[in-house]
């Protein structure tokens, strides 16, 4: 008998008979591995555990520790769903059922819509079929028989797929119970281990995603290896819903988007406006402290300027159309860069002026299709916390380091502790696709990498991910429920300095071209505000909270003292709200809790007499009575430290 050589991931080699299957090899390694095995990877290709191996191969047995195995597992779960649906609704026509992020879907043509009760029944049936541990069996059929099988079964969509996709003379099928699928596989051996799934919802989808085709019903499911992972996912979904900034924005009266004004345009209500002021005050102070100069540039500028910058060409589809005034075309600005460049160019700059850092909370307008707009996160008008740094090549490492340090200050100040960093590089095989010289790119990319290394910040290199005009680093912050948000960008630009012919007079008396860096920390005020609402679940830390203290008199009898307390708070610079409505104390406390006001002070007879307040914290509950002066000092300390609430989950 012929033998073949199998190389395992640890480098160990085994001689086995040709036709040995991965599961047999797994059993030889250990029973534990054979029990845990889901699928195999041979020479980089995923394979059923029962597929005979015909050639020498490097082989890995994949278990729940492997991300590829999860995709296969979810695909098998999609087959289980189809099998269950066929048991209950044998008349359905089958579409496709791939694994997706967090689960899978399968699509069906059926006249009546699937109801919630149907989903429950289907889920139950899936568990039944899973418990029977049905094997997922692979079969090969000649293409003609495959077509006949589906024709006889009246599965038109599947016929179409076989016609289009089956290229080999033999077509592979997988059966799970009564379900037979034209499918390349691979699959896990049987249904027994598919336990942690939940059918989430049904939505309409055109066959092959093309309008005009029949509309199928997609049943979406969440699916994981373990119940704990599924529970974790469902919990995060619930949390995300509870934290949705669009809902909280309305409940807390922070902002709105008005039909009368148009989509994607944000109205900041007084409470949102107050938070914005705190955010912007912090930012402006930091900018000045860190050597930036604050500027303002116009919202509309001549279209010709955008032709010089190139935006009128390569950025056109993201721009609002031009406006004609006195026979000249003007353009609503989609970016702040050309404005800052004009300020740079307004004087002849010398090396002594560099680095020249211009910062602007610059409002820009970009055309986004109405379908992709999303609350504060995706809008048509927004204010970037934008800055442009013009510097000499010798200065770039320090400048990049300063940008990263600033980004870290944002992270700390706004209560984030985890992050991911990516470095986007060019595609070294296609230098012709990029602006700037090979030298420019190598120097700038190296500066970004060196700086991150020097600061001991781990990062991921993203080859060929850079924009045509320069390499960049992106910082994503991880929020309170583990979601990454792209915020800070530090981006080199070799294009604009050339297009605008930027210069400085060097120490040698000659003209040189400065380097230009675009950088934004929050990205935009709107988007960052949306992220903060979700990160804090609307319970802003004291320094940001629009109302910091609610003063709640126990009854009308103590209105006078309550008024005094509120006045003292206001005089000390705090944002206090006196709730002197003729309501029960419990109702007032409930309303303040709903509004997520950080502190409540309850005042009654005892408090008035002793000149104290009974303090209640949103989240921590009752903190007991305190002299008013002590309370004021505590508040001052918390605001000055910009303490981020320890209970952002509330
Ligand atoms: Zn399949
Ligand atoms: Zn820019």
CA distance 100 to 107: 13
Statement: residue 649 has pLDDT above 80: no
CA distance 342 to 475: 29
- Cis-peptide, bond into residue 462, ω within 30° of zero: no
Statement: residue 204 has pLDDT above 90: yes
Provide the percentage of residues in the chain whose pLDDT is more than 90: 90
- Ligand of minimum distance to the alpha carbon of 83: 1
Model confidence band, residue 171 (pLDDT cutoffs 50, 70, 90): confident
| pLDDT score of 1 | 65
Residue 350 tokens, joined: 């010398």
Statement: residue 351 has pLDDT above 50: yes
How far away, in angstroms, is 137 Cα from ligand 1 center? 12
Dihedral, 20, 24, 30, 34 alpha carbons, nearest 10: 130
How far away, in angstroms, is 187 Cα from ligand 1 center? 8
- Ligand of minimum distance to the alpha carbon of 388: 2
How far away, in angstroms, is 335 Cα from ligand 2 center? 6
Dihedral, 560, 566, 567, 572 alpha carbons, nearest 10: 150
How far away, in angstroms, is 386 Cα from ligand 2 center? 7
Statement: residue 168 has pLDDT above 80: no
Statement: residue 342 has pLDDT above 80: yes
Per-residue exposure over 620-631, b if at least 16 CB sit within 10 Å of its own CB, e if not: eeeeebbebeeb
How far apart, in Å, are the Cα atoms of 571 and each of 574, 610, 639?
7, 21, 15
| pLDDT score of 37 | 96
How far away, in angstroms, is 517 Cα from ligand 2 center? 8
| pLDDT score of 167 | 76
The mean pLDDT value for 130-149 works out to 92
Q: Where does 386-511 have alpha helices with state H?
A: 396-413, 438-454, 496-499
SS3 of residue 604 by DSSP: coil
| pLDDT score of 436 | 87
How far away, in angstroms, is 193 Cα from ligand 1 center? 17
| pLDDT score of 166 | 79
- Ligand of minimum distance to the alpha carbon of 172: 1
How far away, in angstroms, is 421 Cα from ligand 2 center? 20
pLDDT per residue as tens digits for the range 394-426: 999 999 999 999 999 999 999 999 999 999 999
The mean pLDDT value for 478-495 works out to 92
Let me know: does 389 contact 517? Beta carbons within 8 Å: yes
How far apart, in Å, are the Cα atoms of 406 and each of 353, 400, 412, 522, 638?
21, 10, 10, 11, 22
How far away, in angstroms, is 174 Cα from ligand 1 center? 7
- Ligand of minimum distance to the alpha carbon of 518: 2
SS3 of residue 642 by DSSP: coil
HSE-CB for 12 with a 13 A CA cutoff: 8
Predicted structure pTM score: 0.81
How far away, in angstroms, is 75 Cα from ligand 1 center? 6
Model confidence band, residue 547 (pLDDT cutoffs 50, 70, 90): very high
| pLDDT score of 650 | 37
H or E element: which one contains 383?
A: strand 381-391
CA distance 518 to 492: 6
- Ligand of minimum distance to the alpha carbon of 358: 2
Statement: residue 172 has pLDDT above 80: yes
Count of other CB atoms within 10 angstroms of residue 94: 24
The mean pLDDT value for 499-527 works out to 97
Statement: residue 531 has pLDDT above 90: yes
| pLDDT score of 647 | 41
Q: What is the DSSP string of 507-527?
A: TTSSEEPPEEEEEEEEEEHHH
Let me know: does 36 contact 64? Beta carbons within 8 Å: yes
Statement: residue 31 has pLDDT above 90: yes
pLDDT per residue as tens digits for the range 436-460: 889 989 999 999 999 999 999 999 9
| pLDDT score of 645 | 58
SS3 of residue 252 by DSSP: coil
- Ligand of minimum distance to the alpha carbon of 359: 2
How far away, in angstroms, is 461 Cα from ligand 2 center? 22
Mean pLDDT of the chain: 94
Distance of CA 347 to the CA centre of its chain: 42
Per-residue exposure over 145-155, b if at least 16 CB sit within 10 Å of its own CB, e if not: ebbebbeeeeb
| pLDDT score of 544 | 97
- The most distant pair of C-alpha atoms in the chain lies apart, rounded to whole Å, by 100
Statement: residue 648 has pLDDT above 80: no
pLDDT per residue as tens digits for the range 35-68: 999 999 999 999 999 999 999 999 999 999 999 9
The mean pLDDT value for 382-399 works out to 96
- Ligand of minimum distance to the alpha carbon of 72: 1
The catalytic residue positions are: 337, 366, 384, 386, 388, 472, 518
How far away, in angstroms, is 99 Cα from ligand 1 center? 9
Statement: residue 506 has pLDDT above 80: yes
Let me know: does 527 contact 479? Beta carbons within 8 Å: no
How far away, in angstroms, is 460 Cα from ligand 2 center? 23
How far away, in angstroms, is 388 Cα from ligand 2 center? 6
The mean pLDDT value for 570-592 works out to 95
């Amino acid at each position: 008998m012929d033998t073949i050589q199998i190389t395992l991931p640890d480098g160990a080699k085994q001689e086995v008979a040709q036709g040995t299957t991965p599961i047999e090899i797994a059993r030889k390694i250990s029973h534990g591995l054979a029990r845990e095995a889901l699928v195999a990877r041979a020479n980089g290709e995923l394979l059923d555990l029962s597929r005979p191996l015909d050639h020498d191969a490097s082989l890995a047995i994949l278990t729940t520790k492997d991300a590829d195995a999860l995709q296969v597992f979810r695909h098998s779960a999609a087959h289980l769903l189809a099998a269950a649906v066929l048991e209950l609704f044998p008349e359905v026509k089958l579409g496709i059922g791939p694994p997706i992020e967090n689960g899978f879907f399968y699509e069906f043509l059926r006249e009546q819509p699937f109801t919630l009760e149907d989903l429950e029944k289907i889920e139950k049936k899936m568990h039944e079929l899973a418990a029977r541990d049905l094997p997922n069996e692979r079969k090969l059929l000649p293409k003609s028989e495959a077509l006949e099988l589906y024709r006889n079964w009246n599965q038109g969509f599947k016929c179409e797929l076989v016609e289009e996709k089956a290229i080999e003379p033999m077509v592979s099928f997988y059966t799970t119970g009564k379900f037979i699928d034209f499918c390349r596989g691979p699959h896990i051996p049987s249904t027994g281990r598919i336990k942690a799934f939940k059918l989430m919802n049904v939505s309409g989808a055109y066959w092959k995603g093309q309008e005009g085709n029949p509309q199928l019903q997609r049943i979406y499911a969440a699916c994981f290896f373990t119940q704990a992972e599924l529970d974790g996912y469902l919990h995060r979904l619930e949390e995300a819903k509870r934290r949705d900034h669009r809902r909280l924005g309305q409940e807390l009266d922070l902002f709105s988007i008005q039909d009368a004004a148009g989509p994607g345009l944000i109205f900041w209500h007084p409470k949102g406006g107050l938070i914005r002021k705190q955010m912007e005050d912090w930012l402006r102070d930091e900018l000045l402290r860190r050597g930036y100069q604050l500027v303002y540039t116009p919202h509309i500028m001549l279209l010709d300027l955008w032709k010089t910058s190139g935006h009128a060409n390569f950025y056109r589809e993201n721009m609002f159309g031009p406006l004609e005034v006195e026979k000249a075309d003007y353009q609503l600005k989609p970016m702040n860069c050309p404005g800052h460049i004009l300020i740079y160019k307004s004087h002849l700059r010398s090396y002594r002026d560099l680095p020249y850092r211009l910062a602007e909370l610059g409002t820009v307008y970009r055309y986004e299709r109405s379908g992709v707009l999303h609350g504060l996160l995706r809008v048509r008008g927004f204010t970037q916390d934008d800055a442009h740094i013009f510097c000499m090549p010798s200065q770039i490492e320090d400048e990049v380091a300063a940008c990263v340090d600033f980004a870290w200050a944002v992270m700390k100040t706004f209560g984030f502790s985890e992050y991911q960093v990516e470095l986007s590089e060019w595609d070294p095989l296609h230098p012709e696709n990029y602006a700037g010289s090979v030298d420019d790119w190598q120097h700038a990319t190296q500066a970004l990498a060196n700086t991150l290394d020097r600061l001991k910040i781990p990062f991921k290199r993203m080859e060929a991910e850079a924009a045509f005009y320069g390499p960049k680093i992106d910082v994503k912050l991880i929020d309170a429920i583990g979601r990454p948000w792209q915020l800070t960008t530090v981006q080199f630009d070799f294009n604009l300095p050339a297009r605008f012919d930027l210069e400085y007079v060097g120490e040698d008396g000659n003209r040189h071209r400065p380097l230009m860096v675009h950088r934004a920390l929050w990205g935009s005020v709107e988007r960052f505000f949306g992220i903060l609402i979700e990160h804090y679940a609307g319970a802003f830390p004291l320094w940001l909270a629009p109302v910091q203290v609610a003063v709640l008199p126990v009854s009308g009898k103590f209105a006078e003292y309550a008024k005094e307390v509120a006045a003292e708070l206001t005089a000390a610079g705090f944002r206090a709200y006196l709730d002197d409505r003729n309501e029960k104390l419990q109702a007032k406390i409930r309303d303040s809790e709903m509004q997520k006001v950080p502190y409540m002070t309850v005042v009654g007879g005892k408090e008035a007499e002793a000149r104290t307040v009974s303090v209640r914290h949103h989240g921590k509950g009752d903190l007991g009575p305190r002299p008013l002066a002590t309370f004021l000092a505590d508040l001052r300390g918390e605001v000055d430290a910009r303490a981020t609430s320890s209970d952002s989950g509330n």
